[in-house]
Structures are given as C-alpha cells and as structure tokens.
Amino acid sequence: MDIPRYWRLKNQRYRLQGKKCLDCGNLSFPPRLVCRKCKSRNCEPYEFKGMGTLYSYTTIFQAPDRFDQMAPYMVGLIDLEEGVRITAQLTDVLPDDVQIGMKLEMVIRQIYEDGPKGPILYGYKFRPVLKF
C-alpha cells in the first residue's frame, strides 16, 4: 500500500471510524459515500467502540504475498455492538481457545511490513476481552 492511501485510511484503521447516515441512522464500515439503506449522501463520520462478538472464523494457511510469513493466522467475522459486521484478523489468542460467540475488543497491531525498506503498517485486529 502506498503512503498517501495509508494516510487517507488512518482514521478507519486506527479509530475504527465508519459513517452514520443522518437521514436514516444507518451505520456503515468501511465508510461509504452513499448510505446503502436510503441512498442519502447526508452522512457523518462515526467512531465505533471496538467491542463485539465473534460470529464466525477461519484459519488462513495459504496467505497472500504480504501475509505469507504470518500464516497460519485466524480471520473472523465480528458483530460490533452497534450492529455492523466486519472482518478482522484475530490476535492474542490460541486457535484452540477461539469460540463462536466470544467477546472481542479492538486493538492496534502490526498488519505487515511493506518490504525490507518499506514502512511497517499498523491497523486494527481483535482479541478476546481481557477478564480481571
């Protein structure tokens, strides 16, 4: 990913920022210019809390180029508290400990390194909610 594109996506990647339609209240992630529900363009940025529940998951064994050194890794479908379902990599959990329905929280982690001299790119991943 080039630096300008990464910079444009920083709010989405670091703050889990999507959009909220001011006409119908629909939430979207990733952010969209037009509301999928009512087709309005009257939207504003909306920051999700980053808390959710694991809907489903899979383990990636044959990873794309930039992720091949991380394989195997887990990717999940997460239902956020606000009602939006997103896809994210799971972290800080062993494969045997992953369960559908487990509570998750967003954390910022390294996504990948863009070559030996390129930038290290960070973004959101989800981990089990820590219990104290």
Instruction: State the distance between the two ends of the chain, measured CA to CA, in whole angstroms.
Output: 38
Compute CA 114 distance to the chain's CA centroid, rounded to the nearest angstrom: 19
Residue 120's pLDDT is 79
The SS3 assignment for 12 reads helix
Categorise residue 49: left if φ over 0, alpha if ψ from -120 to 50, beta otherwise.
alpha
Digit-by-digit pLDDT tens for the chain (132 residues) are 566 666 666 667 778 999 999 999 999 999 999 999 999 999 999 999 999 999 999 999 998 887 888 889 999 999 999 999 999 999 999 999 999 999 999 999 988 777 777 777 888 999 999 876
Whole-prediction pTM: 0.85
Residue 71's pLDDT is 86
| Co-location of 116 and 74 in the same domain | yes
Spatial distance between the Cα atoms of 86 and 53, rounded to a whole number of angstroms:
11
| Co-location of 68 and 10 in the same domain | no
Categorise residue 88: left if φ over 0, alpha if ψ from -120 to 50, beta otherwise.
beta
Spatial distance between the Cα atoms of 63 and 9, rounded to a whole number of angstroms:
23
| Co-location of 112 and 77 in the same domain | yes
Number of domains in the chain: 2
Range of the domain at 102: 49-132
| Co-location of 64 and 127 in the same domain | yes
Residue 11's pLDDT is 67
| Co-location of 100 and 132 in the same domain | yes
| Co-location of 38 and 93 in the same domain | no
Spatial distance between the Cα atoms of 50 and 79, rounded to a whole number of angstroms:
10
Residue 58's pLDDT is 97
